Amino acid sequence: MEYTRLGRSSLRVSIAGLGCGGHSRLGTATGNSEQESIAVVRQALDLGINLIDTAEAYGTEAIVGKALRDVRRDQVVIATKKLLPADDHPDPAGAFRRGLEHSLQRLGTDYVDIYFLHGVRPEQYRFAHEVIVPVLTSLREQGKLRCIGITEAFSRDPGHRTLQQAVRADCWDVMMVGFSLLNQSARSRVFPHTQARNIGVLGMFAVRTALSQTARLRAVLAELKDSGQLAAEVAEAADPLGFLTQRGKAASLPEAAYRYCRHEPGIDVVLTGTGKLEHLQANVAALLKPPLIEEDVRRLSDLFGQVDSVSGN
């Protein structure tokens, strides 16, 4: 495993992070038993992963807590998240304080390393910044969390409208950013600002269904063609991304996609999620491989460099 410092924090993190949400949610959404899901977290640790990302909404915090029960607390970086309360909530500050306490109980720890505002939509950002950030700052002063983070709702906001607001503030230690070879818009809209402020970045959506299922990829490419963001001859080609796996390059399109994100300047950690041990091993192996060749990176930029409308989900 390779490690890096996460932005301006003191956290030393693996370049691969275990995502406990997504479609799989450690396999809990696809039929895993609790013990099988616990085994995935422990396998991640065995592979050198030390950053575990979960959330109240995922329903996997308790599994993570059980998996880490015998692990020294300072050997793992735990991130979790909470969605913003409804607009008419009578006590949003109290909801966040109680939410963190409940997360700590499920995780079996007395602090989290990163506490994210989860999936903040553009119209919610002002409320998040003005009302909730002071609550998180207070919780950090109490030692309940170490870093304050924000994640975008990338499926709804593939153009990064939320994070383009957030990068103007000094309060965010870590951001979770959607980025893939199909949507590279964070390269110009987010990463220059996070790098300038030394904000840590966790990359999400590196693969998802569009880069792991042929039918979904074709549907996404058709959407891009219809919106004028991709030439018809590319969208309708028999194997439009085959150049990434030809002549002994990447073994698969997901491998190429992970390698592409892993070596993107501005991304500290690439999140990968699964409920299968062998799948996790393959994903980590991909993230530890060299960058794609420069010719292919340039070709991807030519093809998708102007795309900001798809998440790949």
pLDDT of residue 29: 94
pLDDT of residue 47: 98
pLDDT of residue 64: 98
Q: Would you name the residues annotated as active-site residues?
A: 58
User: pLDDT (tens digit, 9 = 90+) per residue, 151-178?
Assistant: 999 999 999 999 999 999 999 999 999 9
Low-confidence ranges of the chain (pLDDT < 50): none
Q: What CATH number was assigned to the domain covering residues 3-213+256-291?
A: 3.20.20.100
pLDDT of residue 87: 80
DSSP result, the chain: --EEE-TTSS-EEESEEEE--TTTTTTTTTT--HHHHHHHHHHHHHTT--EEE--GGGT-HHHHHHHTTTS-GGG-EEEEEEEPPPTT-S-HHHHHHHHHHHHHHHHTSS-EEEEEEEEE-GGGHHHIIIIIHHHHHHHHHTTSEEEEEEEE-TTT-TT-HHHHHHTT-S--SEEEEE-BTTB-THHHHTHHHHHHHT-EEEEE-SSTGGGT-HHHHHHHHHHHHHTTSS-HHHHTSSSTTGGGTGGGS-SSHHHHHHHHHHTSTT-SEEEE--S-HHHHHHHHHHHTSPPPPHHHHHHHHHHHTT--S----
pLDDT of residue 277: 97
Per the prediction, the chain carries an average pLDDT of 96
pLDDT of residue 86: 86
pLDDT of residue 65: 98
